[in-house]
Structure 1
């Protein structure tokens, strides 16, 4: 009898499991994860002009889709990213964040970046959840496919299907920090090629904040983007 009860409990668990749980995500990639809890943010009164510029871009109807904050090592890009992420979260417009870090497992590559972002966005924007679940139901292995298919199925299409009249948020920011620490240069260039397609979603005002060193693969990736898709700021 005990065995039957246990099996019934297990079966019930699987019957009610959330398809979102099938997405392979990178733990520790979010700005406020346990892994990042002791990382610095900007001291009060510092970087004020820059932080205000980013905050204005995030909500401005005239702002370009991508804001590329770039600078050499030691210029405080990740510190700025964490500060911006905290402020955006407080304003309830941070949709998702992914902090690359070379040598830290899947934080050093792009294999799970779109599932990780899609999972966060589904939490930030509940109306997105049915579309992401549908993509997973249609292909339970979607999280292991190529970056383009992942992007199209679990991120872009659910965004395109959103009904703006049902949304409680207008502005949503996706933050990707230290893109230069992604190990595969071709993946970096592909990510940059895919992101402008987010503009096809008209239900909300999407923005993407990217930070990186101005390394050649990233500079070449941005050269292929239309000027109206991004604005750049170099910090020292």
Structure 2
């Protein structure tokens, strides 16, 4: 083994007894006892695999059948799409799907290995030992590779060093050993990597994705690989590349209706909670929760399995579950709050970012990037740039004329409740005032005969809506300077452009005289 040169320049070093020198990357380990085995050389991250101990997310029995079948059908094909990217927003159950797939194919002898990234969890949040962990698992799942992997490490003792590219490591320790067994190795086997977005090494992760795409194009991947992540920009860019399209199979969880699955989960889990707490619950009429309450819960959950699971834990762990559920239905849940804070902490934190996020939060209807840009006088490119870091919770379309939106209404609830969002709090009354002012500023610049010639329809129609919502607040907190500016803007607008606006509004088929009178009254009330 080439390790006899590791300490050749060292001074004052004495190694005695039956010792083995192991060079594993930057670390040099002195291990007393018999020669090191392959596991000691590779040092896999054991708590990053599907066999890790502790609670792990997995698909609830009877749920996600359609998604799992889609993955199964992809795995059974023999085309060039050997890389599958399963993506979805936070809380959509990506890790549960990864765990379920890994366990299922491990039972069938078709899983080569798995790795579950997790931010802030030591080696699980870095890519450095991804290849060595896979190599160790492959040496077990495909025993014939063990000798070949050991031979590669013996030939190059620096193979696992951090200075060695992940591409070189991947070839020497994974694809080369497997490819050499082509006559005995089935290409229907799979590697599973969950949470690409949880890896802190964004540059290296982008390089890793590019390598997979390149090798797949060259038919150099002797297996299929399932990748899951949120739609983070450094990941999306690589998969959006034209070269990736011929080898990439994309599964967007937004395309699957999760409501029936979450309905099943709620019904069975709340039934279990009822039975386990019968001395307390027997007075509560069944079904519990009622059909109406269950419908509200489903609306609150949307497609978020994380929200549903958190809800069940909150209710089930309390000695008075029916009271907790009642309170949750009345006030909303904060199950996703930590995740929202994590995503928001990665944003630019600039005034422009918060203005954009607050505007999207209070808009009556979702707007396109171009439309919002006109409303706020911000270039479309700047909007995209500011929101890229939060696109896992705010949907940013690939076309500037398509709608942007919050992925889930619980984000709006989180942002508007200071006790939950803290630093990220957005005050709704204040933001509605700002939005009304932005609409009026946009219209004030319009010198055409008809507002529709150059102004976004949202500004024309909805500026009174934002003021009405403020007036309906029982205890609105108004910034006096902003209020004075808004009142002045309304008076000026109605004086110089009121007739044009009225005529424009009357041309809209869904606006009648009664609505017009109510909305015009908004300006009068503020002026008094």
TM-score (norm 1): 0.86
Q: Find 1:43's aligned residue among 60, 71, 76.
A: 60
Residue of structure 2 equivalent to 1:234: 252
Deviation at 1:20, TM superposition (A): 4.5
Q: Secondary structure, in 3 states, of the residue corresponding to 2:206?
A: helix
Q: Distance between the aligned counterparts of 2:154 and 2:38, measured in 1?
A: 7
Counting only pairs closer than 5 Å after superposition, residues 5-44 of structure 1 correspond to structure 2 as 7=18, 13-14=34-35, 17-34=36-53, 37-44=54-61
Cα deviations by residue, 1:88-118 (Å, 9 ceiling, x for unpaired): 1122111100000000001001001011111
Q: CA RMSD in A?
A: 2.2
Residue 94, structure 1, aligned to residue 115, structure 2: no
Deviation at 1:194, TM superposition (A): 1.5
Residue 214, structure 1, aligned to residue 237, structure 2: no
Counting only pairs closer than 5 Å after superposition, residues 55-94 of structure 1 correspond to structure 2 as 55-62=72-79, 64-94=81-111
Unaligned 5+ runs, structure 2 = 1-16, 20-30, 255-528
Deviation at 1:193, TM superposition (A): 1.4
- Which of the pair has more CA radius of gyration? 2
Structure 1 residues 140, 19: closer, same or farther in 2, change over 3 A? farther
Deviation at 1:11, TM superposition (A): 8.4
Deviation at 1:189, TM superposition (A): 0.8
Q: Find 2:127's aligned residue among 110, 113, 127.
A: 110
Q: Distance between the aligned counterparts of 2:66 and 2:42, measured in 1?
A: 38
Indicate the structure with greater strand content: 1
Counting only pairs closer than 5 Å after superposition, residues 130-169 of structure 1 correspond to structure 2 as 130-144=147-161, 145-164=164-183, 166-167=184-185, 169=186
Residue 223, structure 1, aligned to residue 244, structure 2: no
Corresponding pairs, count: 222
TM-score (norm 2): 0.40
Q: Which moved more, 1:54-63 or 1:72-81?
A: 54-63
Deviation at 1:126, TM superposition (A): 1.4
- Please say if residues 160 and 200 of structure 1, whose CA atoms lie closer than 8 Å, have aligned partners that are also in contact: no
- Please say if residues 22 and 140 of structure 1, whose CA atoms lie closer than 8 Å, have aligned partners that are also in contact: no
Q: Distance between the aligned counterparts of 2:130 and 2:229, measured in 1?
A: 16
Q: Find 1:121's aligned residue among 132, 138, 141.
A: 138
Q: Distance between the aligned counterparts of 2:235 and 2:34, measured in 1?
A: 44
Residue of structure 2 equivalent to 1:186: 203
Q: Distance between the aligned counterparts of 2:79 and 2:180, measured in 1?
A: 24
